[in-house]
Structure 1
Amino acid sequence: MGRRACARTMRLFVRIPSVAIDARLLAPLAARVSIVEPQSMSGQALLALLHSLAASLAEGRPGELGPIESALIELLVPVIARSGGFAGKGGAMGQRARQYERICRALESQLGDPELTVQAIAAAEGVSVRYLQQLFARFGQTVTGYLKSRRLERARAELASPLHAQLSISEICFRWGFNQSAHFSRAYRERFGEAPRDTRNRARRSGIA
């Protein structure tokens, strides 16, 4: 009787709240099915990240999960956005969608600038303020609302990350474009239903931060 070697396989199911991704997509996540090509650069990066996630779970290293979860969301958004939706279509709608995605990507590197304004963004893009506001409105957003949401998401990721445990809550607040700690705390509570300190304390209790 011959011997047959069976390769070891593992299934990893990852559930991510749609609220973490929906605001940054042109189409609702629930209405989309996306396939990531493993041969693509983004597919390979995503696969490597999932391997790290599986290894952390298998070896009982919960302290590594926070940064991996944050990186996973940051990688999934552009992968899902490129896999379909309005940006892949032709015509005026597709053109506006591609412009919207390009502007959003550009804003990611400017979230820490407290002086960033709608007027400055419009000027950098060579469009009027009215056009910029209408463009974001087509995809259920406002420019200021998008900036506020992304800044809060970045701040939340750092509050839960051991890589930023040495930073105070105020330092994280100012790093992401907020001028006042009180305003940041109010906006954070409205967005996530808890205070920034609660997020950090929970992460520390679970061994993440």
Structure 2
Amino acid sequence: MSLVPYEEGGGWAARQLHSPWASYSFASSSIRLRQDWRRLGVAAVVWDAAVVLCAYLEMGGVDLRDRSVIELGAGTGLLGIVATLLGARVTITDRAVALELLESNVQANLPPELRPRAVVKELTWGKDLGNFPPGTFDFILGADIVYLEETFEELLQTLEHLCSEQAVILLSCRIRYERDHKFLRMLRGPFSVHEVHYDSSKDVHIYKAQRGSPKDDL
């Protein structure tokens, strides 16, 4: 998730981040997520990039029904939950420290019949790849995961490992700094990358990446 400084008492945005709960409506469902800024920081709050990508998926930006999806850096789990509600089989991943909160949100917000379609697993970029066979996933999703330059090599390695010839990567992010452009340049080495959506109200971009030529009929 993104690393952005927020201070106590810093207005509406800060109050939202420090709130213990965040509520949304997607896929004809009410979603109420537990947040824990004080204990887990940026990994335990909902960022705009996740909300924008959820809206893009709900609007039919892609068809997730019965597709195999993996989310990287899931944080509170909003994106993975919405992908499951939209019909996907989803592997929702983050580092070990975030898994308890992530699992609790997933279980609390999916009806019992859909819970088997969402699996929470630990994934530290570049380190746990043997637990994720290449070519398994149709879509790789990430919301606000491009922010720490020291993780770029590991993130790119993870995307290359997970992405088969047919898989689609969707990354939702703000472009805040030159280092964000640097990652996009890195991504354009092994992948064809283009912007598919921009939310001007939240200043969030969605990029689609694929090996070879991008396909426009997804």
TM-score by length of 1: 0.32
Bigger proportion of residues as helix: 1
Bigger proportion of residues as strand: 2
**Higher relative contact order (Cα pairs below 8 Å, separated by 6+ residues):** 1
**The structure with more radius of gyration:** 1
